[in-house]
Structure 1
Amino acid sequence: MAPAEVKALLFDVFGTTVDWRSGVTRAGEELERRKGEDLRGVDWAAFADAWRAEYRPSMDRVMRGEIPWTNLDGLHRASLEALLRRFGISELSEEEKEFLVCAWHRLDPWPDVVEGLRRLRRRYIVAPLSNGNVALLTDMARRAGLPWDLILSAEWVRRYKPDPATYLLLPRLFSLRPGQAMMVAAHPDDLHGARRAGLRTAFVPRPLEFGPGGPTQPAEGPFDVVAEDFVELAERLGA
């Protein structure tokens, strides 16, 4: 059970709250239907996996100072160019490239998410704490009906997770101690970063994040709470 002093829950988004792989794959398939023969034979699920694999390296380049601060939309756009070459995709218009980049704004939540968040919101402040930029997270929330109390993003502090400044954003804004906030994620490395910053942690596995038969994230704790999904998390946290 969560310690009684926890007042706020912060949620990782990509993979924990929403299914990025299906959404990006769907966007590629829609573009293929529009363009026809030009895009026949592209493995869009593999394309989504490859795009996601660029996520951490691109943020690390920002954090090392190799490139100036760039939000996630900008990093996705830069990664896309290399991916198009790798997958032999040419002749996309700027509008079509933008359609693919904005697929990350149009991701669906896992089936338990909206109900779980609504229940948790009765007792706790609930907010995303994502490396996604504010516009991306806002578009996603409006489309998917995610009932956040506010949108928190690494963009506010211009530091990507696991930099401590990201995890301490909500405690700073609400004058809370770090231990009064709990990070919820399907990725142990994210939770370890939160724990180092003084936050409580909750692990919610998402075995289908990388598709059926894909790699899974083992529950390598210690975590304060482990729950099967957001509904069970609400039950465990008394909401």
Structure 2
Amino acid sequence: MPERPSILVPLRVLEGESIPEGVPELLTNAHVVLLGYHVVPDQTATDQARSQFEDQALRRLNDFTAILEHAGATVESQLVFTHDGQTTIDRMTDEHDCLAALIPNATRPVENVLIAVRGIVSIDRFVRLASGLFATIGVNVTLYHVAAENETDEDVETLLDGIATRLSDEGISQDAIDIQISRGGSPQEMIVDASDNYDAIVMGESDPSVSTFLFGMTADQVAKQFLGPVFVIQHEELDDLEATDNE
């Protein structure tokens, strides 16, 4: 049986966020790093917020842990009070060696998963996540790539066929793997357009850029339009991040 992939599930634990319908079943075969976090105003000390809200936050975090464990996941939870939510998510993903972070939107029972492959970057992580989560539950997987102008169909097919072979070697049936190539639009728009018949998306994180800081991460934009859960595969190495949290 494939190794359980480690997945970070971040929740703003004091702001009404919870584990949406269908997500516990989606994570049945995962090792979940459940991050309950609360963003504290810059003028407020994180120690002060922790002393005031820790008990309430821990109760909610323990409830979510029980839900995930009941569905079959293994769970380690951590509560963080921070001034910077995204830095906390990035740092926790790195510290716990998570393959991906989950944007946990609600989903129906998972039958079809779209895996948006950008290139050769982090392919091993795509394979480990997909096989670990889906090899034993009969999910159909579509390997999807938006081809650049300088990419031939033959090049893309070679890439995707190689990934399909590795997934098959890791326990996903060849009959459950499909390949799809698109051209002619931005990757974000094409992924959303292709996602109508899928229950979850797996995609890589975006490289930092001016547009990222202005409009948010591409994965977040996809999740807002798709409305289902999105696994965001992390790059192989993350930059060193300043520990700004009080844990």
TM (norm. structure 1) is 0.30
Higher helix share: 1
The normalised TM-score by structure 2 is 0.29
